[in-house]
Copies of this chain bind each other. A is one copy, B any other.
Amino acid sequence: MPLVVVGSVALDSVETPTQKRDRILGGSAAYFSYAASFFTSVRLAGVVGEDFPPEHVALLKSRNIDTAGLQVVEGGKTFYWKGKYLPNMNDRETLELQLNVLADFQPDLPESYRRCKFLFLANGSPKLQMQVMEQCRGASLVVADTMDFYIKNEPAELRALLKKVDGLVLNDSEAKLLTGIDNLVQAGHAIRALGPRFVVIKKGEHGAMFFSEFETYVLPAFPTEKVVDPTGAGDSFAGGMMGYLAEKNSFDPKTLKEALAYGTLVASFTVEDFSLDRLAQITREDLDQRMEEYKRMLSF
């Protein structure tokens, strides 16, 4: 089944303790789409400026990602993020942030997008996420991401959104911020009580936790020695997860757990290089091979 994602497409400048890249392809929807493209066809909605390099669009299209919903604003500049990772490669500082065309983004999904059954609302204002959801009334699975900025500044809108979505994906510090609870198991259930049928808490190098009415579990991250750039790991995780659910056209408990595992593994490849460079080198077979290793790791 095709999968729709609405989110940011960005140009990122990333500095790690040992390397530096300028204006490389980034943004939640870019990472998400590429990750999901290993499993299903993806329809991307977002906005870029006139400065957005055509080769990035070509790269996405080469992966069967529909960019009909990617608005290009004439004379506009693409969303830009500049960040620097600390030596631990987990904490980062934002050095510069230019919303540019993203500031006035009004999603208006193409007709083909509106009929999709699987919808992912990447990081964005809850009001805008709600608008997108209203354009996809027939969706059978709607999952959203959110972040500290909206938890702090648009709490009412976020709570309204949470009552409507099927799933929420967020990271550990955001889960604590949203609930005021430090124990992640308690926090996960507390978020579920706000509306979503399931909640996924991403813990970066420590894996991901899943919460539904009947299940609570943790899957560890795949232990990778080569962490070049963690940017986009969370969005790749969500892309792998949603892509797999859309491929299987199911979100029963068994499929959801497999989906979390695939999300984990796509993310483990993403961090092995900058931007989408590592994902561009791998195939579904590489993912399946790492899945075998992962399953072996977790069985005893």
* Closest Cβ–Cβ distance, residue A171 to chain B (whole Å): 14
CA gap between A197 and B257 in the complex, in Å: 34
A216 sits at the interface (CB 8 A)? yes
Chain A, range 212-243, C-beta contacts under 8 Å to B:
216-221, 223-225, 227
A300 touches B254 (CB 8 A): yes
Partner of A297, one of B87, B186, B218, B225: B218
- Chain A: residues with Cβ within 8 Å of the partner, total of 33
**Measured CA separation A257–B300 after assembly (Å):** 6
Determine if A283 is an interface residue (Cβ-Cβ < 8 Å): no
Q: How far is the CB of A34 from chain B (nearest CB, A)?
A: 24
Asked if A103 CB lies within 8 Å of chain B CBs, one says no
Q: Is A206 in contact with B209, judged by CB distance below 8 angstroms? A: no
Q: Is the CB of A216 within 8 A of B207?
A: no
Interface: A60 (CB within 8 A): no
Q: Does A19 contact B (CB under 8 A)?
A: no
Does A182 contact B217, Cβ atoms closer than 8 Å? no
A261 interfacial contact with B, CB 8 Å: yes
A-B pairs, top 7 by smallest CB distance, nearest first, are: A206-B206, A257-B300, A218-B220, A298-B298, A217-B297, A185-B225, A88-B182
